[in-house]
Structure formats: C-alpha cells, structure tokens
Structure 1
C-alpha cells in the first residue's frame, strides 16, 4: 500500500492526461534517467505522442513549483528557499523531462526487462487503475449531487407555489372575516 501512495504522488495531470515523468520512473525502476531515456530512444517507434511527450518549459516550471509546494507541506516548511528550488530543478539537468501516459508506462515494461522494472511496472499499473476507480467514484458522486440540486430546485419552486397558495387562502379568509364584521346598512332587524 505504501508503494501505491508513493507512486500516486508522482502522477501528474499535464495536457489533460495523467502522466509520470521520466526521472520519477527512473527512480522507481532504480536506473538513471539517462539510461531510461536511451532505452526509449532505441525503441522510439513504440512511443507515439499519445504514449510519451516532452514537457514545455512552462509545463516543467509549473510541475517544479507544485513539487516544491508538496515537498514543503510534507516537511512542514512553508518557506521555499533558493536551495530547495535548485534541488528540485536539478532532478532534470539541461533537457526538459519526458512525460509518459499510462500506455507509455505499460510500453516501458516491454523495453525494461529487469526484475525490479517488471515488479515496479505492475505496481504502477495497479496505481493507475486505483486512481481511475477513485475518479469514477468522484464522477458518480458529482452526478448524484447534481441530481440532488435539481430536485431541491424543483422543491423550491413547489414550496414557493405552496406558500403563494397559502397566502391567497389567508387573504381570502381575512376578506371573509372583514365582510362578516362590516357595519351593515339599511334596515336592521331585531333578533
């Protein structure tokens, strides 16, 4: 379970896709990022754009800033100092990192054949499935909330109509009482 939490924290949403970055994958597979990227380049035909893409500098800076915020919240240190930012950005010197979608990570299992890589790939695939299940549950809950809001909206309309009808009845009753209590004119009969 701990490994799934560790992997979950390394999944990002970039360009609307859940992805893992090359240096995180290399760390999990216990290989150098350079070695992982060389293996990918030797098998580049297995990695079309929807399996792997290189981050833009803007995307990379956004990921770096999020990483630093996550790291500081874990350690309780909310002050980001220069050394922390440098350390975070040194994870990937020079080149911008590659992002691997779920299919790209699955494809990595075909080119990385070590025991550690195979076991880690299984854990990563399980994590992607777990994240997908959580998102489906959340989507279902969102649909239920939307339905409840619609029902409440309908009930509000019905309650307003009911209040209006009650006010009309009360107004009619008051008018009837006033009519009965009015001073009569004309002949008065003695009872």
Structure 2
C-alpha cells in the first residue's frame, strides 16, 4: 500500500532546472488543501522557503509544461500565473507550515516517493556501470579472439614454395688434405 502511494506520487514528480520537483497544485491535492491556501501559507512563511526549496516557474517553463499536457492551458480555465514548484525539502517544509495531521501524514508519503525515486535512479546507475564493465570485458575478449583468428589464418595459408636460386651449383668433391705437423725446436 505504501509503495503504491509512493509510485502514484512518483508520477507527479517532474524534473525542472535539474531538480526533481512537484507542482503546487499536486501538493495541494495530496495535502487536501486548495492551491490558494497552500500558496498563502508559502507567502506567510517565505523565509522558510529559500530558492532551493521552492521557486516559481518562468513563462518558458510553463509553456513547456503546457505542451507536455502536464497542466492545462491558461485560456481554458487554467492558471493565470505560472505555478510554484517544490523540491523534496520544500514539500517537507510545507507540511510543517500547514501543520495538520493530514499534511504530516501526506508529507511522509511524499518523502517516501522522493526516496523511492532516488533508489530507482541509483539502481539504474549501478546497472549502467555493470553494463559498461561487461562491454569493456567483451572488447578485450574481442581483441584476443581477433589475434587468435589472425594466427590461425597464418597457419592455414599455404607456405610459399622455396624459390630456386638462379645460376649453377657446383658440388666439389671434398679432398682430405694432410697437414704437416711441425715440431717446436
């Protein structure tokens, strides 16, 4: 059950500016408050939310989210201002600001979702690292196999016949010469 909630919340986590974040409207639904109440709590406690906890999207980021159908278009009853997004730390801080038992319970689910996502990413990195190691091992084995095949090819190629030398070969009879022994005087 807890894992299912984490997976459901994980689907609401987006990557913006290189950070994993959640939209204010999604957090409001999870904490069972209105988006207005959530943003009002944020404004009242703005010192608790530095830029690495929560930030407002730019028009370009908003346009990208609209094109991906993550949020509705402004002309069709959607938002008039770009939404705020909260990092994992911002979502936890928001639960403490809202200070209701339901918000605290929901913050635990949000934290579990972020942790689950982090574990999945770490597991993917481990798999990629093992894959790279296997690839390197195969590359070295490929080189060894190529060297072996080259040696076999050289053994299978017929040896070039010995070339005949040009010219006459004269075989002389070996004479045994006698060597005079001299005595030392």
Report the CA distance shift for 1:88/1:131 in structure 2 as closer, same or farther (over 3 A).
Answer: farther
Structure 1 counterpart of 2:159: 175
Tell me how many residue pairs correspond in the alignment.
Answer: 161
SS in structure 1 at match of 2:14: strand
Q: Deviations over 1:126-173 (max 9, x none)?
A: 1111111111000000000111111111111111111111111222xx
Structure 2: how far apart are the matches of 1:143 and 1:5? 25
Structure 1 counterpart of 2:177: none
Q: Please say if 1:35 is aligned against 2:19.
A: no
* Unpaired segments ≥5 residues, structure 1: 69-83, 180-185, 187-191
The within-5 A match list for 1:68-79 is: none
Q: Please say if 1:54 is aligned against 2:56.
A: yes
SS in structure 2 at match of 1:175: coil
- TM-score calculated relative to the size of structure 1: 0.77
Q: Are the counterparts in 1 of residues 74 and 80 from structure 2 also a CA contact under 8 Å?
A: no
2:144 to 148, 158, 177: 158
Task: Select the structure of larger CA radius of gyration.
Answer: 2
Structure 2: how far apart are the matches of 1:88 and 1:141? 45
Structure 2: how far apart are the matches of 1:148 and 1:24? 42
* Unpaired segments ≥5 residues, structure 2: 163-168, 170-185
Q: Are the counterparts in 2 of residues 67 and 88 from structure 1 also a CA contact under 8 Å?
A: no
- Structure (1/2) with the larger helix percentage: 1
Please give the root-mean-square deviation of Cα atoms over the aligned residues, in Å.
2.2
The structural deviation recorded for 1:24 is 0.5
The structural deviation recorded for 1:3 is 2.2
